Amino acid sequence: MDIQIWQGDITTLEVDAIVNAANSSLLGGGGVDGAIHRAAGPELLAHCRGLGGCPTGEARITPGFRLPARFVIHTVGPVWHGGDRREPELLAGCYRSSLALAEAEGLASIAFPAISCGVYGYPLEAAARIAAAELSRSRPPGSSLREAILVAFGVDMVRIYREVLGAA
Ligand code: APR
């Protein structure tokens, strides 16, 4: 699977799925969650109401509605509490669950925001290393996935992704 780094607003990407850094209610919020719900329109929230939430480290897939992306994969990242509450494993789980849902749907392209790196306070470089490691894992035979995009909203994250992927 090809891995790209791209700086900008994930809601503008015309990919098969964009990943949302949601909270466990799946009922919207600020940050990228707020941006995705604003761009997708009210049908997204109405659809999410029927999902019954999502545990940390897992993901749920919905249509993209008014977004250019066909689907939204909502995942719930861990809140950073210092690293001894399974944060690394839970964050890795977000990437793994999202990739597995995309493959189950037969999708070819997926874009990720920097999950947990905003409100949830995850250290940027540690999170980038987890993202790079999970995206670099070989995919199961027959996987539909061809491209993953790591979306950096700020230039600092671009630099960190470049450094980490260079080393991955
Ligand atoms: N496109 C791409 N990335 C974005 C966008 C956007 N439009 N808006 C914000 N980001 C980036 C942030 O800069 C950060 O690097 O997404 C990353 C994740 O930050 P948050 O959106 O704050 O998500 P997170 O840290 O996972 O916290 C999740 O915040 O919005 C609430 O409902 C959400 O409770 C949940 C919590």
Give the CATH number of the domain where residue 125 resides. 3.40.220.10
Quote the pLDDT of residue 44: 98
The verdict on the CB of residue 87 being under 6 Å from ligand 1 is no
Ligand 1 pocket mutation pick from 6, 24, 32 by most atoms within 8 angstroms of CB: 32
Quote the pLDDT of residue 167: 66
Would residue 33 show up in a list of annotated catalytic residues for this protein? yes
Quote the pLDDT of residue 166: 87
What token pair was written down for 76? 């719930």
Alpha-carbon distances of 129 from 86, 122, 123, 161, rounded to whole Å? 16, 12, 10, 8
2 C-alpha to ligand 1 centroid (Å): 24
Domain that holds residue 123: 2-167
78 C-alpha to ligand 1 centroid (Å): 12
**Taking Cα atoms as reference points, which of 156, 32, 143, 120 lies closest to residue 40?**
32
Number of domains in the chain: 1
Burial class of residue 103 in the structure, from the number of CB atoms within 10 Å of its CB (0-12 exposed, 13-18 middle, 19+ buried)? middle
> Along the 168 residues of the chain, how does pLDDT read in single tens digits?
999 999 999 999 999 999 999 999 999 999 999 999 999 999 999 999 999 999 999 999 999 999 999 999 999 999 999 999 999 999 999 999 999 999 999 999 999 999 999 999 999 999 999 999 999 999 999 999 999 999 999 999 999 999 999 865
Q: Residue 54 — φ and ψ, nearest 5°?
A: -155, 130
The verdict on the CB of residue 78 being under 6 Å from ligand 1 is no
The pTM for the full model equals: 0.98
